[in-house]
Homo-oligomer: A and B are copies of this chain.
Amino acid sequence: MDKGRMEAFSDGVIAIIITIMVLGITAPEGDRLADLLGLLPAIAAYAVSFIGVGTYWNNHHHLLKLVNRVSGRMLWSNLAFLFVLSFFPLATDWMQKTGFAALPTTCYVVVNMLVSLTYMNLERVIRRDLSQSCPPNPANEREAERRAMVEKRSLLKERLTLGLEVVGLVIALVLPSSHLALVALVIAFLLWIVPDLRIVRLLDFLAEEEG
Contacts and interface: CB of A to CB of B under 8 A. Distances in A.
A104 interface: yes
Query: So how many copies of this chain end up in the complex?
Result: 4
A19 B13 contact: yes
Given A19-B20, A72-B196, A79 B102 contact: no
A7 interface: yes
Nearest to A58: B75
A17 B20 contact: no
A114 interface: no
Nearest to A9: B11
Given A9-B57, A13-B19, A19-B20, A103 B33 contact: yes
A98 B30 contact: yes
Interface residues on A, range: 35 or more
A30 B12 CA distance: 32
A17 B15 CA distance: 10
Interface string A85-107: 01101100110011001111001
Interface string A172-199: 0000000000000000000001111100
8 contacts: A1-B61, A5-B7, A5-B61, A9-B11, A12-B12, A23-B23, A36-B103, A36-B107
Given A16-B16, A50-B79, A54-B83, 13 more contacts: A8-B8, A9-B57, A13-B15, A13-B19, A16-B19, A16-B20, A22-B89, A27-B90, A27-B94, A27-B97, A31-B94, A31-B102, A72-B195
